[in-house]
C-alpha cells in the first residue's frame, strides 16, 4: 500500500486546531476521501460513515484529555482513519467497536470488543453470514469442561457445565457455524496471554533505551531529529523478558513476578481491570485463529495495522498520507493495544527516569498507552 499512497498530499493538523468542530470534520473528511484514487481503494458509504464517526470520537477524546490536533501527528492519524474506513469499524456503535489512545503525538484508533468480532463475521472464510460467530463461552475455575474429541474426520463437540460466575476465567471458547453446516470451536487458554504481556513489555522497553551524549547526558538525535535508540541494550532486555516468560509456571505467576510487575501497564496489575484485560486478550487470541480473506492488499494492510499485537518495527514505514520525509520506523509502530470488553476507563501511564511505570493521572479510553522514551536501568530483570 505504501507505494500506491506515496504521492498523497498531506497537511498540517495544527492548521485546523482552531477551527470549529464541524469544519474540522469537513477538512479531515475531504483530505481522507480525496485520497481514494491515489490509494487505489474505494471506501463504501458505511466505511466513510465509520471514518467520520472516528473523527468525532477523536475530537471528544482530545477535548476530554486537554489536547488538540496540534498534539497529533497528521500522517499517522490519517493512516488510522484510512484503516477504519477500509475495515468499517464503528466508534459510534453500541457498544463501541473501537477505542482511541494517544502515545506521544501518535493517535491510534483500534478495534475493541464487538469490533474484533465484527471483523471475523465480515472477513471470516466460510463463516455463516451474520449469525455464524456465537457469543463466547467464559469457562471459569471449577467449571466442568470437556475438550472436543476427534476420530478421523468425525468430531465430538466440547461440553461445558458452568459452576460459578465469579471465579477466574481460565478458557474462552467461540462456537463458529460455517456455511457448509459444520461447527468449529475457537479456544484460547489463560496462559496464552503470557505472549501478549511480553509484547506489552517489549513496547515499554522499545522507548526506554536512549543513547545519550556523554558530555551533557542529553538524548542523541539522528540527522532527521529522531531520538537514537540503544538497540543492543534494548535487545538484551528483550532476551531477559523472554527467559522470564519461558520459566513462568502460569500467567498469574508471570504477572506477579516483581522483576517485571513495575514495568507493566497498570491495567494488568489493577484489581478493577486485570481480569477484564485477561479475558479480552483470551478472546482476541481465540478470534485470531480463524482464517480471514480481506479480498485486497489494501484491506489486508489496514487489518494488519489495526491488529492490537502488530509488531511493525521491521516494516518499511508506510508512506500513506504523509510528507515525503524519512522517519524512524519506531515512530510508525502501533502495537499491543486493546481495551476491556465493556470499555471501562483506565489510567494512562508513563515511564519515569528510573524506568518504572506509573499512572499519569489521565484517563484515556485505551488501556495500553506506550510510555515515552527515557533512560532506564533494566538490570534487575536478570
Q: Could you tell me which of 318, 351, 345 has the C-alpha nearest to residue 333?
A: 318
C-alpha distances (whole Å) from 285 to each of 70, 133, 171, 189, 374 are 36, 15, 11, 9, 31
pLDDT of residue 330: 39
Comparison of pLDDT for 13 and 283, the residue scoring more: 283
In a domain, 288, yes or no: no
The verdict on residue 172 lying in a domain is: yes
- Helices 114-123 and 274-288, interaxial angle, to 10°? 10
Closest CA to 378 of 271, 243, 285, 248: 243
Residue 264 has pLDDT above 60, yes or no: yes
- Residue 95: inside a domain: no
Task: Work out how many domains the chain is built from and give that number.
Answer: 1
| Bridge pairing between strands 183-189 and 137-140 | unpaired
Grid coordinates belonging to 91: 466508534
- pLDDT score for 227: 79
Instruction: Count CB-CB contacts under 10 A for residue 337.
Output: 27
CA-based R_g, the chain, Å = 22
The residue with greater pLDDT, 185 or 310, is 185
What distances in angstroms separate CA 40 from CA 3, 34, 284, one per listed residue?
10, 11, 30
Q: Is residue 374 part of a domain?
A: no
pLDDT for 335 equals: 40
Q: Which residues contact 85 (CB under 8 A, 6 or more apart)?
A: 32, 43, 47, 48, 50, 51
Residue 380 domain flag: no
pLDDT above 70 covers a percentage of the chain that reads 75
pLDDT for position 181: 93
Which domain, by its residues, includes 154? 117-189
Q: Is residue 165 part of a domain?
A: yes
Average pLDDT score over residue span 144-148: 97
Regarding pTM above 0.85, the answer is: no
Residue 134, classed as helix, strand or coil, is coil
Q: Is residue 64 part of a domain?
A: no
Is residue 9 situated within a structural domain? no
pLDDT value of position 39 = 65
Amino acid at each position: 500500500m505504501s507505494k500506491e499512497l506515496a504521492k498523497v498530499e498531506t497537511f498540517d493538523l495544527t492548521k485546523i486546531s482552531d477551527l470549529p468542530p464541524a469544519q474540522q470534520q469537513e477538512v479531515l473528511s475531504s483530505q481522507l476521501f480525496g485520497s481514494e484514487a491515489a490509494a487505489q481503494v474505494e471506501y463504501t458509504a458505511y466505511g466513510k460513515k465509520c471514518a467520520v464517526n472516528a473523527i468525532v470520537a477523536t475530537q471528544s477524546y482530545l477535548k476530554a484529555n486537554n489536547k488538540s490536533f496540534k498534539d497529533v501527528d497528521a500522517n499517522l492519524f490519517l493512516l488510522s482513519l484510512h484503516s477504519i474506513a477500509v475495515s468499517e469499524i464503528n466508534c459510534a456503535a453500541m457498544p463501541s467497536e473501537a477505542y482511541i489512545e494517544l502515545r506521544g503525538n501518535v493517535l491510534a484508533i483500534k478495534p475493541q470488543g464487538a469490533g474484533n468480532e465484527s471483523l471475523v463475521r465480515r472477513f471470516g472464510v466460510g463463516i455463516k453470514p451474520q449469525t455464524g460467530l456465537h457469543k463466547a463461552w467464559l469457562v471459569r475455575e471449577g467449571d466442568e469442561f470437556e475438550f472436543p474429541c476427534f476420530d478421523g474426520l468425525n468430531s465430538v463437540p466440547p461440553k461445558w457445565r458452568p459452576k460459578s460466575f465469579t471465579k477466574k476465567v481460565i478458557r474462552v471458547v467461540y462456537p463458529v457455524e460455517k456455511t457448509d453446516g459444520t461447527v468449529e470451536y475457537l479456544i484460547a487458554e489463560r496462559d496464552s496471554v503470557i505472549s501478549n504481556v511480553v509484547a506489552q513489555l517489549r513496547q515499554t522497553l522499545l522507548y526506554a533505551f536512549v543513547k545519550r551524549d556523554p558530555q551533557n547526558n542529553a538524548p542523541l538525535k539522528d540527522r532527521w531529529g529522531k531520538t537514537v535508540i540503544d538497540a543492543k541494550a534494548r535487545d538484551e532486555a528483550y532476551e531477559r523478558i523472554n527467559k522470564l516468560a519461558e520459566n513462568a509456571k502460569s500467567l498469574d505467576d508471570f504477572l506477579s513476578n516483581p522483576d517485571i510487575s513495575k514495568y507493566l501497564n497498570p491495567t494488568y496489575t489493577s484489581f478493577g481491570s486485570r481480569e477484564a484485560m485477561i479475558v479480552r486478550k483470551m478472546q482476541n487470541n481465540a478470534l485470531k485463529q480463524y482464517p480471514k480473506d480481506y479480498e485486497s492488499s489494501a484491506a489486508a494492510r489496514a487489518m494488519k495495522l489495526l491488529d492490537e499485537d502488530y509488531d511493525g518495527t521491521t516494516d518499511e514505514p508506510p508512506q500513506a498520507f504523509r510528507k515525503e520525509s524519512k522517519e524512524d520506523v519506531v515512530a510508525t509502530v502501533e502495537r499491543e493495544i486493546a481495551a476491556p470488553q465493556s470499555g471501562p476507563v483506565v489510567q494512562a501511564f508513563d515511564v519515569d527516569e528510573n524506568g518504572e511505570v506509573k499512572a499519569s493521572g489521565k484517563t484515556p479510553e485505551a488501556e495500553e498507552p506506550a510510555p515515552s522514551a527515557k533512560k532506564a536501568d533494566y538490570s534487575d530483570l536478570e
